[in-house]
C-alpha cells in the first residue's frame, strides 16, 4: 500500500501511527516523529495523542537540525556516517510551512533516492493533515504553546493560513499577538490567470473586532466567488459592514489583483494598510489613491488604480490595529521606521521577512508593533525563461 493510500485510509487523529507502520515496511525506519510549528513561530512541538502525552520538550525553531530543516526547507541528514541516521524533512503545503518529519533508520537505507522519497512523503503528510484538521483537534492542540484567546481561535479558523506559493510568486504573513489577536484580515485566491489578495488593518482586540473581521472577510469571499471584480467586492463588503454597524465600525482594507502573466496589478485602496516595494537597491512606500474605509458611509463608490510590478520585486504590507480615521497623509516618522526595518532584512527569504520586520519595528515611534500583521510578497513573474529575460533586461 502506498503512503498516500495509507494516510487516506487512516483515522484523522492517527496519521502518524499509519505513517510509522508504512515507513517501517518501506525503509525499515525504527522511529518516526512529527514536529509542528507553534502559532507564534517560536518552536517545533511533537505530535502526541492527548491521552498519551509524555511531556516531550519542544525544539527551538532557530537551532538544531529540525530547526535547520524548517528554516531552509531542505532535508537535513544527521549521523549518516554511523550505523544509524536521522532524516529531518520539512512538512510544507503550497508554501505554508507546517513542521518537520523526523525519521530514524539504518544509514545504509539513507540514499539520495530514499531521501528524495522521504521528502515527498513529508509533503504528502502535510496535505493529509490539512484534510484531517477538519475532523480532529490533535494537530491544532499540538501547535499551542499556551492557550488561545477566543478571538484568536476565531481568527485562526477564519484566515486561509500563513503562506501560499506558486511559480510566479511567494507570499508569507506573520501577525502578533499570535495567541490573543482577533482583528487581522488576510485572504487570497489563486486562479490560472491571477492572484487576488486582501490585507486589512485590525480593528483592535476582542470578540467584537473579530466579528467585524468575520463579516468583512465572508462578504469579500462571497463577492469574489460570485465573479465580481475588485470594485464589486469592495462595494458589497462596504454595504454589509454599513448595514450591520451603521458606520460605527469600519475596516481599512487593500484589495489587489495580480495578473500572473505580466505583473499588472489592479488596486482598490479603501483607507488601506501601507505597502512598500523593494526593487533593486531601493525600498520605498507605494503612494496609492486612498479611498474611504469599508463600512464608514453608506453607498461609497470605489474605483481601481493600476500599477505594474516586475520580476524580482518584493512587496511588504503593514497592517496595524488602530482606530479608523479618514484617509490622510502618511506619518514621516513611522514611514522612516518601516522603511529602515524592511531595508534591514532585505537579504532574508520571503518566509523569514514578516517576523523579522515585526521584531525590527518593536519600539519604533508611531508603529504599534504589538498588534500588527506583516505580509511579504516576492514576485517572480511568469515562466522561468521569461523571468530570466526580464531580470537581464532590468540589469
Within 10 angstroms of residue 20's Cβ, the number of other Cβ atoms is 18
Distances (CA, A) of 102 to 15, 31, 112, 192, 322: 14, 8, 16, 35, 42
Is 98:89 a contact under the CB 8 Å cutoff?
no
pLDDT in tens, the chain (395 residues): 589 999 999 999 999 999 999 999 999 999 999 999 999 999 999 998 644 444 567 888 888 999 999 999 999 999 878 899 999 999 999 999 999 999 999 999 999 999 999 999 999 999 999 999 999 999 999 999 999 999 999 999 999 999 999 999 999 999 988 998 878 899 999 999 999 999 998 777 788 889 999 999 999 999 999 999 999 999 999 999 999 999 999 999 999 999 999 999 999 999 888 999 999 999 999 999 999 999 999 999 999 999 999 999 999 999 987 544 444 446 676 888 899 999 999 999 999 999 999 998 887 766 665 688 999 999 999 754 354 544 444 44
Same fold, 3-142 and 150-394: no
* pLDDT of 334: 81
Which CATH number describes the domain made up of 3-142?
A: 3.30.450.40
Alpha helices (H) in the chain, listed in sequence order: 3-9, 15-27, 64-72, 112-132, 138-142, 150-158, 207-225, 230-245, 332-344, 353-361, 384-394
Enumerate the domain spans of the chain: 3-142, 150-394
Digit-coded pLDDT (tens) for 270-321: 988 899 999 999 999 999 999 999 999 999 999 999 999 999 999 999 998 7
* pLDDT of 15: 96
Q: What CATH number matches the domain at 150-394, 3.40.50.720, 3.30.70.100, 3.10.20.70, 3.60.40.10?
A: 3.60.40.10
* pLDDT of 261: 95
Kindly report the pTM of this predicted structure.
0.90
Give the Cα-Cα-Cα angle 179, 210, 158 (nearest 5 degrees). 75
* pLDDT of 62: 84
* pLDDT of 56: 66
* pLDDT of 364: 73
Distances (CA, A) of 297 to 109, 238, 251, 319, 362: 66, 8, 11, 22, 34
* pLDDT of 382: 78
Distance CA 260, CA 257 (A): 9
* pLDDT of 324: 45
Amino acid at each position: 500500500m502506498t503512503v498516500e493510500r495509507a494516510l487516506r485510509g487512516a483515522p484523522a487523529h492517527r496519521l502518524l501511527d499509519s505513517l510509522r507502520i508504512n515507513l517501517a515496511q518501506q525503509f525499515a525506519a525504527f522511529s518516526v516523529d512529527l514536529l509542528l510549528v507553534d502559532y507564534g513561530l517560536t518552536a517545533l512541538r511533537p505530535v502526541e495523542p492527548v491521552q498519551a502525552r509524555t511531556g516531550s520538550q519542544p525544539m527551538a525553531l532557530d537551532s538544531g537540525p529540525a530547526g535547520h530543516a524548517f528554516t531552509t526547507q531542505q532535508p537535513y541528514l544527521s549521523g549518516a556516517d554511523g550505523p544509524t541516521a536521522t532524516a529531518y524533512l520539512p512538512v510544507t503545503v503550497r508554501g505554508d510551512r507546517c513542521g518537520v518529519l523526523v525519521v530514524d533508520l539504518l544509514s545504509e537505507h539513507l540514499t539520495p533516492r530514499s531521501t528524495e522519497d522521504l521528502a515527498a512523503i513529508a509533503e504528502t503528510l502535510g496535505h493529509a493533515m490539512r484534510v484531517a484538521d477538519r475532523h480532529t483537534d490533535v494537530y491544532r492542540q499540538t501547535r499551542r504553546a499556551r492557550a488561545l484567546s477566543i478571538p484568536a481561535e476565531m481568527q485562526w479558523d477564519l484566515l486561509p493560513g500563513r503562506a501560499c506559493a506558486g511559480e510566479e510568486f511567494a507570499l508569507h504573513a506573520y501577525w502578533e499577538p499570535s495567541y490573543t489577536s482577533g482583528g487581522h484580515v488576510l485572504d487570497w485566491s489563486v486562479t490560472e490567470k491571477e492572484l487576488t489578495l486582501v490585507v486589512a488593518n485590525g480593528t483592535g482586540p476582542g470578540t467584537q473586532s473579530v466579528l467585524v473581521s468575520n463579516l468583512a472577510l465572508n462578504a469579500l469571499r462571497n463577492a469574489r466567488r460570485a465573479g465580481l471584480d475588485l470594485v464589486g467586492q469592495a462595494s458589497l463588503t462596504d454595504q454589509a459592514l454599513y448595514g450591520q454597524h451603521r458606520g460605527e465600525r469600519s475596516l481599512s482594507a487593500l484589495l489587489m489583483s495580480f495578473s500572473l502573466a505580466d505583473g499588472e496589478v489592479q488596486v482598490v485602496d479603501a483607507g488601506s494598510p501601507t505597502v512598500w516595494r523593494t526593487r533593486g537597491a531601493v525600498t520605498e512606500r507605494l503612494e496609492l489613491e486612498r479611498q474611504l474605509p469599508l463600512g464608514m458611509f453608506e453607498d461609497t463608490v470605489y474605483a481601481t488604480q493600476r500599477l505594474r510590478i516586475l520580476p524580482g520585486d518584493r512587496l511588504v504590507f503593514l497592517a496595524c490595529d488602530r482606530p479608523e480615521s479618514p484617509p490622510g497623509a502618511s506619518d514621516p516618522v513611522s514611514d522612516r521606521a518601516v522603511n529602515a526595518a524592511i531595508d534591514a532584512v532585505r537579504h532574508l527569504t520571503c518566509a523569514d521577512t514578516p517576523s523579522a520586520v515585526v521584531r525590527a519595528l518593536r519600539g519604533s515611534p508611531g508603529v504599534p508593533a504589538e498588534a500588527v500583521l506583516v505580509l511579504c510578497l516576492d514576485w517572480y513573474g511568469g515562466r522561468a525563461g521569461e523571468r530570466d529575460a526580464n531580470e537581464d533586461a532590468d540589469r
